């Protein structure tokens, strides 16, 4: 089968030759005669085939490649089901024991742009963020059912409809019932509300970082700011923390955080606090042995980076001030446009303003089930530092 071709400008094909999966509109010599979401071939100015991707003529990213090859080929149902099988095999190889919630498909990290699939027990929660993903949805559903998922729930973003014209209604694609499950992560139980919760219901990307917190929390007084449904809080208490304060602006999230704690550690000293985290952190300091800062993304576009940097600096400055000498700061950014080096410089500025001795103990990222395509550094969205804060 022959697919419509996109031709790159001479000298503008280097990133695609180096397997970066995005083709930007400014690199195009000739546009394909193809509709939104259709598969197109990407070629050099000398008509050399580089690969295939999903077309979006309305976006700055005009093509998202899913296959790099110099040979013409066809993409049938078996190809897409094969992508699901490969992703499943990787997760089964590395999934930790007593854990039944994880990410099965991670977009470019699994060579499937615009497709996110998270597993919560017997349910797969799906996000289809590109029109190309919508056009192969039936094949993906076949693949999910082949590996054993009969309950599939769609939890899409409004941006997918607005920018990619994805025409899918949220709700059950297969199965029915309440849009929630109780799942296990490293043996701890969490109730996940994937129907109305943030993203697909739970922040699976912090799984191993939560385990690190558990290992250093014995007898500690811990603050979990932007606590959401209490992932870090529960791990700290499971590690023997003396008391944990969970702070979030959402009363529903705070209530679920307390429920998750009580489900696992009924007698824990856990304070579920509804408050603005910036305001909470500005109160009198030197109160905690460990502070966790895991805010939502402050910047989603390059234009927002400067403002986001100020927010991260203010947050970390006051987080440091909350720590007793010798305390630990677990600080994160999930803003993809704030890279690892910039985030470290921001935290450096906060430490300098605080005027305290600070050492980096760990540099953290996302776990194996959120794989990073080495040619696509934008996929490394989660950055974290564990700092020891002295006098």
DSSP letter string, 71-96: S-----HHHHHHHHHHHHHHHHHHPP
pLDDT at residue 114 greater than cutoff 80? yes
Domain that holds residue 208: 203-389
Q: Residue 256: its pLDDT value, please?
A: 96
Inter-CA distances, 177 with 83, 153, 169, Å: 28, 10, 16
CATH of the domain at 173: 3.30.750.80
Same-domain check for residues 18 and 62: yes
CATH number of the domain residue 19 falls in: 2.30.130.10
Looking at the fold, whether 293 and 356 belong to one and the same domain comes out as: yes
Q: What is the mean pLDDT of the chain?
A: 95
**Mean pLDDT across the stretch 316-330?**
97
322 within a domain of the structure (yes/no):
yes
48 and 99 belong to one structural domain: no
User: Residue 190 falls within a domain, yes or no?
Assistant: no
Last residue of a domain, one of 18, 42, 68: 68
pLDDT of residue 157: 85
Same domain, 381 and 296: yes
Domain end call among 147, 181, 215 = 181
Q: What is residue 158's predicted lDDT score, i.e. its pLDDT?
A: 83
Top mean-pLDDT range of 141-145, 161-165, 294-298, 308-312: 141-145
Between the alpha carbon of residue 201 and those of residues 72, 73, 77, 125, 324, the distances in Å are 40, 38, 29, 9, 33
List pLDDT tens digits, range 76-107. Answer: 999 999 999 999 999 999 999 999 999 999 99
Residues 324 and 281 in one domain: yes
Residues 97 and 144 in one domain: yes
Residue 50 has pLDDT above 90, yes or no: yes
Q: Please indicate, yes or no, whether residues 101 and 160 belong to a single structural domain of this protein.
A: yes
Residue 196 falls within a domain, yes or no?
Answer: no
Residue-level pLDDT at 161: 81
217/304 same-domain check: yes
Q: How far apart are CA 331 and CA 226, in angstroms?
A: 11
Q: What is the pLDDT of residue 286?
A: 77
3-state SS class at 204? helix
Question: How many H-runs (helices) and E-runs (strands) does the chain carry?
Answer: 11, 20
DSSP 8-state assignment for residue 207? H
Q: What is the pLDDT of residues 260-285, one digit of tens each?
A: 999 999 999 999 999 999 999 998 87
Query: Does residue 216 sit in the same domain as residue 309?
Result: yes
Residue 198: inside a domain: no
**Confidence check: pLDDT of 250 > 90:** yes
In a domain, 358, yes or no: yes
Query: Does residue 263 share a domain with residue 155?
Result: no
Residues 47 and 85 in one domain: no
Residue 198, number of CB atoms within 10 A of its CB? 14
**pLDDT for the residue numbered 113:** 96
Domain boundary among 68, 90, 120: 68
- What is the percent of the chain with per-residue pLDDT over 90, rounded to a whole number? 90
Number of Cβ atoms within 10 Å of the Cβ of 2: 7
Q: Does 1 have pLDDT greater than 80?
A: no
Q: CB neighbours of 321 closer than 8 A, spacing ≥ 6?
A: 281, 285, 286, 354
CA distance 181 to 194: 8
Residues 6-13 have a mean pLDDT of 89
pLDDT category at 162 given cuts 50, 70, 90 is confident
Q: Is residue 81 part of a domain?
A: yes
Q: How far apart are CA 255 and CA 227, in angstroms?
A: 11
Q: Which of 63, 101, 277, 334 is catalytic?
A: 334
219 has pLDDT over 80? yes
Q: Looking at residues 179-205, what average pLDDT do you find?
A: 96
What's the CATH number where 309 sits?
3.40.50.150
Number of domains in the chain: 3
Is 334 among the catalytic positions?
A: yes
> What is the mean predicted confidence (pLDDT) over 279-292?
92
CA angle 244-193-153, nearest 5°?
150
Domain-located, residue 166? yes
Characterise 107 by phi-psi region: left (phi > 0), alpha (psi -120 to 50), beta (else): left
Residue 382: pLDDT over 80: yes
Say if 186 falls within a structural domain: no
How large is the average pLDDT for residues 360-364? 98
Residues 292 and 160 grouped into a single domain: no
């Amino acid at each position: 089968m022959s697919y419509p071709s996109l031709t790159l400008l001479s000298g503008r094909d280097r990133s695609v030759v180096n397997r970066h999966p995005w083709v930007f509109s400014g690199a195009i010599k000739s546009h394909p005669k193809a509709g939104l979401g259709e598969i197109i071939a990407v070629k050099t100015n000398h008509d050399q085939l580089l690969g295939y991707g999903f077309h979006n003529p309305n976006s700055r990213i005009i093509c998202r490649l899913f296959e790099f090859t110099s040979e013409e080929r066809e993409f049938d149902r078996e190809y897409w089901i094969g992508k699901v099988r490969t992703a499943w095999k990787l997760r089964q190889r590395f999934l930790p024991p007593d854990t039944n919630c994880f990410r099965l498909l991670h977009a470019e990290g699994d060579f499937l742009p615009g497709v996110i699939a998270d597993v919560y027990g017997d349910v797969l929660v799906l996000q289809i963020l590109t029109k190309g993903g919508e056009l192969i949805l039936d094949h993906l559903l076949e693949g999910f059912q082949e590996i054993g998922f009969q309950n599939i729930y769609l939890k899409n973003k409004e941006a997918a409809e607005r920018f990619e014209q994805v025409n899918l209604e949220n709700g059950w694609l297969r199965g029915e019932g309440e849009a929630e499950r109780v799942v296990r992560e490293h043996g701890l139980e969490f109730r996940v509300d994937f129907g109305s919760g943030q993203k697909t219901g739970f922040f699976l990307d912090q799984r191993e970082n939560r385990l690190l917190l558990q290992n250093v929390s014995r007898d500690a007084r811990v603050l979990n700011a932007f606590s959401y449904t209490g992932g870090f809080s529960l791990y700290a208490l499971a590690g023997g923390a003396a008391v944990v304060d969970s702070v979030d602006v959402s009363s529903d999230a705070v209530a679920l955080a307390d429920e998750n704690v009580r489900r696992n550690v009924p007698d824990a000293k856990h304070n579920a606090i509804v408050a603005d985290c910036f305001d909470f952190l500005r109160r009198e300091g030197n109160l905690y042995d460990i502070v966790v800062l895991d805010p939502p993304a402050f910047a989603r576009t390059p234009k927002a980076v400067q403002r986001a940097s100020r927010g991260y600096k203010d947050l970390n400055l006051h987080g440091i001030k909350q720590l007793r000498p010798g305390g630990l700061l677990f600080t994160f950014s999930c803003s993809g446009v704030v890279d690892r080096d910039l985030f470290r410089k921001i935290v450096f500025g906060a430490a300098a303003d605080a005027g305290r001795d600070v050492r980096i103990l760990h540099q953290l990222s996302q776990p194996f089930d959120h794989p990073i395509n080495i040619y696509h550094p934008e996929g490394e969205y989660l950055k974290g530092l564990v700092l020891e804060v002295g006098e």
